């Protein structure tokens, strides 16, 4: 297998996407945040149902952090292209009694994919949930950060297990 980010001298290089076609690219990534038993139930809730920790509204803060991170992916991960996102959405929902499931959907019309943006958005949203709740427990676990779907490039990906 040829590694695309190494030159003939085995030195890191950015992939040249100059000759690629511009297409609509979409990627969906997911992360799970697992809480110790009963912790989610003990969180304060606002009148509109938003869960709050001692630091403030958990979901709203994590959504904003995930979107901001997706927009800054090229600053965080070496050799990622700067991609102007057409849209980025972070969705957080409770799954079972002790888990939050985070999805980040990134879209761009560009020459290269947005899977790293979606993965970064999901990961940072999960880390933000941890940060918002760590005063309550350090036994919170982030797991299963993964790409669910990517479309628009030369190879689409669909996670059939999802």
pLDDT at 10: 73
pLDDT at 74: 94
pLDDT at 160: 65
pLDDT at 2: 65
Tell me the backbone φ, ψ of residue 9, rounded to 5 degrees. Answer: -95, 15
Residue count (the chain): 162
pLDDT at 156: 66
pLDDT at 1: 60
| Residue boundaries of the structural domains of the chain | 23-151
- Mention the CATH class of domain 23-151: alpha beta
- In angstroms, the CA 2 to CA 21 distance is 21
By annotation, the residues acting in catalysis are 131
- One DSSP character per residue, 31-77 reads EEEE--TTHHHHSEE-TT--EEETTEEHHHHHHHHHHHHHHTHHHHS
List per-residue pLDDT tens for the chain, 162 residues long.
666 767 777 777 777 777 788 889 999 999 999 999 988 888 777 777 788 888 888 999 999 999 999 999 999 998 889 999 999 999 999 998 899 999 999 999 998 889 999 999 999 999 999 999 999 899 999 999 999 999 987 776 677 655
């Amino acid at each position: 297998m040829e590694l695309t980010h190494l030159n003939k001298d085995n030195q890191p290089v950015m992939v040249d996407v100059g000759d690629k076609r511009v297409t609509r690219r979409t990627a969906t990534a997911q992360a799970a945040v697992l809480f110790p038993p009963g912790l989610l139930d003990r969180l304060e809730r606002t009148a509109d149902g938003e869960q709050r920790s001692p630091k403030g509204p958990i979901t709203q803060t994590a959504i904003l952090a995930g979107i901001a991170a997706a927009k800054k992916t090229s600053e965080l991960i070496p050799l990622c292209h700067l991609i102007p996102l057409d849209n980025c959405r972070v969705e957080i929902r409770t799954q079972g009694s002790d888990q939050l499931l985070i999805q980040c959907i990134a879209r761009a019309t560009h020459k290269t994919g947005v899977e790293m943006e979606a993965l970064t958005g999901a990961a940072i949203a999960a880390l933000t949930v941890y940060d918002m709740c760590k005063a309550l427990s350090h036994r919170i676990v982030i797991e299963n950060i993964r790409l669910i779907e990517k479309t628009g490039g030369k190879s689409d990906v669909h996670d059939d297990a999802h």
